[in-house]
């Protein structure tokens, strides 16, 4: 566990070739980011999607930006339209875009222009199984992943499902960026432990920024 009483200044930790953890980068703007999540969810509510195999995901999701990721029994896709409402996804808040671009630049990926932000909401027990982010047409751009709320254990592996896994403890405001050699590395979130965050309550939110279209 990280020292809760340490200096709030952000710092970086190398994770793998092309991958880095930017500790506490988003903490100072946490309140603004959380308010923006509420505005997005008012347009496109959180929902638990169903995978092609018929499994209902334990994580609730929504999206913002020109494109949104979704899954159903027919497969995975990016679309400008929310399948739940039939309307366009909510626009990406300016504070989201600024954070994503700042994090990517710090990690060595200048000129990052995400067109999709997947917002995951975890309750205790929710998890994200080991997977690759490979549905995007643009694999040259990095992934920027922002943690808000309760802490979680992030697993980061390699190019095969059987590659050894690192376990990284992520707290409110931590940002993980991976691209280049690590762009298609497998990763996961272990089941969330119960707790109460002073700003977020019993939840963990994750913002995942991607460049989905070429």
Residue range 171-183, pLDDT digits in tens: 999 999 999 999 9
Residue 7 confidence (pLDDT):
57
Residue 3 confidence (pLDDT):
45
Give dist(CA 82, CA 198) in Å, integer. Answer: 31
Beta strands at 152-156 and 187-189: parallel, antiparallel or unpaired: antiparallel
Give dist(CA 101, CA 142) in Å, integer. Answer: 10
Q: Which two tokens stand for residue 146?
A: 């922002």
Give dist(CA 209, CA 202) in Å, integer. Answer: 23
Place of tokens 């339209």: 81
- Where does residue 33 fall: left (phi above 0), alpha (psi -120 to 50 degrees), or beta otherwise? alpha
**Is the pLDDT confidence value at 4 over 50?**
no
**Is the pLDDT confidence value at 1 over 70?**
no
Give dist(CA 203, CA 192) in Å, integer. Answer: 9
Segment 71-77 mean pLDDT: 85
**Is the pLDDT confidence value at 29 over 70?**
yes
Tens-digit pLDDT profile for residues 40-63: 999 999 999 998 888 899 999 999
């Amino acid at each position: 566990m990280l020292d809760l009483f340490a200096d709030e200044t952000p710092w970086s930790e190398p994770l793998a070739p092309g991958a880095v953890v930017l500790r506490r980068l988003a903490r100072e703007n946490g309140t603004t980011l959380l308010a923006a999540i509420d505005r997005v969810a008012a347009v496109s509510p959180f929902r638990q999607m169903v995978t092609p195999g018929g499994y209902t995901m334990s994580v609730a999701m929504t999206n913002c930006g020109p494109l949104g990721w979704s899954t159903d029994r027919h497969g995975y896709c990016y679309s400008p339209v929310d399948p739940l409402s039939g309307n366009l996804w909510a626009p990406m808040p300016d504070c989201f875009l600024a954070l994503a671009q700042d994090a990517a630049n710090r990690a060595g990926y200048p000129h990052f222009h995400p067109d999709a932000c997947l917002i995951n909401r975890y309750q205790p027990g929710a998890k994200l199984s080991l997977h690759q982010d490979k549905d995007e047409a643009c694999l040259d751009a990095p992934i920027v992943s922002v943690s808000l709320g309760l802490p979680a254990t992030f697993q980061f592996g390699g190019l095969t499902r059987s590659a050894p896994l690192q376990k990284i403890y992520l707290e409110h405001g931590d940002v993980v960026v991976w691209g280049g050699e690590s762009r298609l590395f497998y990763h996961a979130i272990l089941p969330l432990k119960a707790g109460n965050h002073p700003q977020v309550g019993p939840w963990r939110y994750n913002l995942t920024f991607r460049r989905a279209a070429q």
